[in-house]
């Protein structure tokens, strides 16, 4: 049936994206009272959006929290969203949270009062209440493994998916890589000699777990198999092979 249209065109909102970045990030940078520390594997996020930090007893951040008036110093927490598949410009977005610390059971509890999601397309401000009630994408924790597997073991499937891309977007392409996946769709990075661009392939319905994601990907691949191969990419590959 050569129809590539999708009935579900939704994408994650800014609050969901910000929560997803925090859920998947392995490290974060925290600045408070003139102290700046890079923390690795030290943060978790509660259901209500607080960030809990495990810091050593001699941490300057903990000292700042304990010694500040009311025990709540102003602080900034930053996380980067790094593409798991090697591409140019691997930073997909950054999340910056401003808020206050308190000490809870030997851990620092950070409650954001301002959240900014910075993407290549621009910055979006997320209200603290919206951030608190948002949930991370259900695939966020598995995204790195899923994309790496797709890129390393199923390059033929990635090639086939380019049949769903507007041929004009593939003009001059030298490589196409999977850049991101969430419950709403798959994003491909189209690399050219000097520039690159991203194309989103939305799922026909959101995927809330891995089994649903598998079904959504099979639907995309079936649609791609029924489509004609985009000639600009074919020509580019032919030139490269020569």
For 210-236, the pLDDT digits (tens) are 999 999 999 999 999 998 765 445 444
Tokens of 201: 């392939």
Q: Pairing relation of β-strands 91-104 and 43-45?
A: unpaired
Q: Which of 148, 199, 203 is nearest to 5 (CA)?
A: 203
pLDDT tens-digit series, residues 90-136: 999 999 999 988 888 878 999 999 999 999 889 999 999 999 999 99
Q: Pairing relation of β-strands 185-192 and 122-126?
A: unpaired
CB atoms within 10 A of CB 91: 12
Query: Is residue 25 over pLDDT 90?
Result: yes
Cα distances (angstroms) measured from residue 154 to each of 140, 147, 149, 162: 20, 10, 7, 13
pLDDT tens-digit series, residues 75-86: 999 999 999 999
CA 144 and chain centroid, separation: 9
Give residue 7's pLDDT: 41
Contact 169, 199 (CB under 8 A): yes
Query: Is residue 179 over pLDDT 80?
Result: yes
Contact 136, 143 (CB under 8 A): no
Give residue 80's pLDDT: 96
Query: Is residue 14 over pLDDT 60?
Result: yes
Query: For all residues of the chain together, what is the average pLDDT?
Result: 87
Query: Is residue 56 over pLDDT 60?
Result: yes
Give residue 70's pLDDT: 66
Mean pLDDT of 1-25: 74
Q: How far apart are alpha carbons 73 and 42 in whole angstroms? A: 19
């Amino acid at each position: 049936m050569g129809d590539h249209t999708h009935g579900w065109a939704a994408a994650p909102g800014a609050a969901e994206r910000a929560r997803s970045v925090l859920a998947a990030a392995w490290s974060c940078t925290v600045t408070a009272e003139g102290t700046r520390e890079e923390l690795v594997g030290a943060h978790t996020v509660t259901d209500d959006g607080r960030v809990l930090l495990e810091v050593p007893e001699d941490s300057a951040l903990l000292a700042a929290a304990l010694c500040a008036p009311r025990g709540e110093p102003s602080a900034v927490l930053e996380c980067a969203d790094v593409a798991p598949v090697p591409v140019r410009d691997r930073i997909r977005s950054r999340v910056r949270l401003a808020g206050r610390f308190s000490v809870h059971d030997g851990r620092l509890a950070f409650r954001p009062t301002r959240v900014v999601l910075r993407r290549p397309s621009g910055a979006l401000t997320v209200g603290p209440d919206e951030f608190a009630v948002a949930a991370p994408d259900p695939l966020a924790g598995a995204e790195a493994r899923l994309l790496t597997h797709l890129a390393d073991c199923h390059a033929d499937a990635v090639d086939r998916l380019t049949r769903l891309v507007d041929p004009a977007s593939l003009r001059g392409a030298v490589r196409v890589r999977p850049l991101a996946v969430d419950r709403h769709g798959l994003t491909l990075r189209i690399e050219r000699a000097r520039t690159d661009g991203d194309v989103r392939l939305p799922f026909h319905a959101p995927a809330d777990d891995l089994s649903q994601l598998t079904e959504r990907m099979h639907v995309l691949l079936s649609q791609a198999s029924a489509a004609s191969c985009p000639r600009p990419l074919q020509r580019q590959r032919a030139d490269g092979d020569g």
